Structure 1
Amino acid sequence: MVTKLPLAVLLSASMLLSGCTVVDLDENGQPILPKDPAAKASFSSQTPQQIAQENWDSRVLKGAQDRALTWNDMKNKSTALKAETSSSVFVKATGTVTAVSDDAERERLLTVTINGESVPVAIGPVIRSNAIRDAAGFKFEEFTNQVQFARLTKALNQQNVQQLPKIDGSWVGKPVQLTLAVTLQPQRIEDAVAVVIKQEQP
């Protein structure tokens, strides 16, 4: 025997069904929920200095260790970039120091010959580059606004300078091992920042 449902029940069920939203599932069958527009950015409660200090080992040094390209792979990546694009990566290389800026300069450079190419490498104390921030994978979406994101660049560069060894004219002519944060443009290196630098033992 077929039981007829009251009209009010049918209307209520219809309204419930019409209000349902189909949610996409990820590869594990879990629902993909949209980002809450009211949610705070990951680093909203921290200063750029705190972010740099707390993430230095895990995102910068470990990122450089795990993802650093060889010099040749980095050059190939630069060649493959499309016009008007850039990319920041970590690179490991060896070379010979050919020049060191005077200690009195604020934006000091170490010039290193790598694979026959003369490469200026920023060593501070003032570094004007986003290379470390971007190579480490920090994203704008993690921050409250553009100002906080930009200030992280300065904080990371300052943190970096503090852990570099003292570099002076005695390094000229010496072989070195380098880990660099490099910003690439098509067919060229825009800038390179020393993250780890050690003199090779004879």
Structure 2
Amino acid sequence: MQFRVSGKWALAAAVITLLSACTVVDLDSSGKPVIPADPNAAPSFVQQTPQQVAESLWSARLLPAAEQQALAWPALLAKRDGLTGADSISVFGRFNGTVASVDNDGRERKMRLTVNGEEVVIQLGPIVKGNALRDAAGFIRFEDFKNQVQFAQAARALNKKALEQMPPIDASWQGKEVAVLAAFTLRAQTLGEAVPLKISEEARP
């Protein structure tokens, strides 16, 4: 004996089969689907304060990147000397030098080093110019921020975070040998003023 299934029941069975194969999606309070975050998506800093951006990046990503990417002194000069016209690039550099002077007057304090006969200016703040630290990292992108203002604020917060890591530096450092890890914005024939990530006194032999 054969049984004939009506079109209505066949359609209902097909719908049930289709629904059973679908993944259940949670809904928010407005009834809209809740889309889980993509684990491979780029980080977004839109909802973070500049201080939160600096704190989240400093130890986890920025310092490791600086340690790995830092150019030694000859490579740093070669990178600078390869620039022409208005070209510029932000990089990390690592070198040793002798402290020629420390200027602690005002809010743009600076330490001047002599490195193989060249002068290097290290900014000690609290006012730090430029975005070298933010831009040298390579992974802090404008599109991950709300707008240009937040992007600039993140650069200032990173500069401030860097200065918080510095030891007290005064005139007593003059003549000392120091090891430096810093960020530069290089231009043709110009090293620019560095933002330090680490400064330590080198032990004399």
TM-score by length of 2: 0.76
Distance 2:63 2:48 in 1: 20
- Which of residues 79, 82, 86 in structure 1 aligns to 2:81? 79
What is the CA distance between 1:124 and its match in structure 2? 1.2
Distance 1:77 1:179 in 2: 16
What is the CA distance between 1:191 and its match in structure 2? 2.1
3-state SS in 1 of match to 2:155: helix
Q: Over residues 101-149 of structure 1, what are the superposed CA-to-partner deviations in whole Å (9 max), with x where a residue is unaligned?
A: 12x4211100000111111111112111211111122111111110110
Give runs of aligned pairs for residues 59-78 of structure 1, distance below 5 A.
Answer: 59-78=61-80
The aligned residue for residue 42 of structure 1 is 44
Distance 1:41 1:48 in 2: 14
The aligned residue for residue 132 of structure 1 is 133
* Structure 1 runs of 4+ with >4 Å offset: none
User: Which region of structure 1 is more displaced relative to structure 2, 82-91 or 167-176?
Assistant: 82-91
Gaps of at least 5 residues in structure 1 are 1-38
Equivalent pair of 2:97/2:178 in contact (CA under 8 Å)? yes
Question: CA, structure 1 residues 160+40, in 2 after alignment: closer, same or farther (shift >3 Å)?
Answer: closer
Q: Over residues 46-98 of structure 1, what are the superposed CA-to-partner deviations in whole Å (9 max), with x where a residue is unaligned?
A: 11110001100123211111100011101111121242221000000000001
Gaps of at least 5 residues in structure 2 are 1-40
Equivalent pair of 1:48/1:152 in contact (CA under 8 Å)? yes
Distance 1:100 1:60 in 2: 27
Q: Which amino acid aligns with 1:75?
A: L
Q: Which amino acid aligns with 2:113?
A: V
Give runs of aligned pairs for residues 16-27 of structure 1, distance below 5 A.
Answer: none
1:142 maps onto 2:144 in alignment: yes
The aligned residue for residue 111 of structure 2 is 110
- Which of residues 186, 189, 194 in structure 1 aligns to 2:188? 186
Count residues with an aligned counterpart: 163
Percent identical pairs in the alignment equals: 44
Larger Rg: 2
- Alpha-carbon RMSD across the aligned residues, in angstroms, is 1.6
TM-score by length of 1: 0.77
The aligned residue for residue 175 of structure 2 is 173
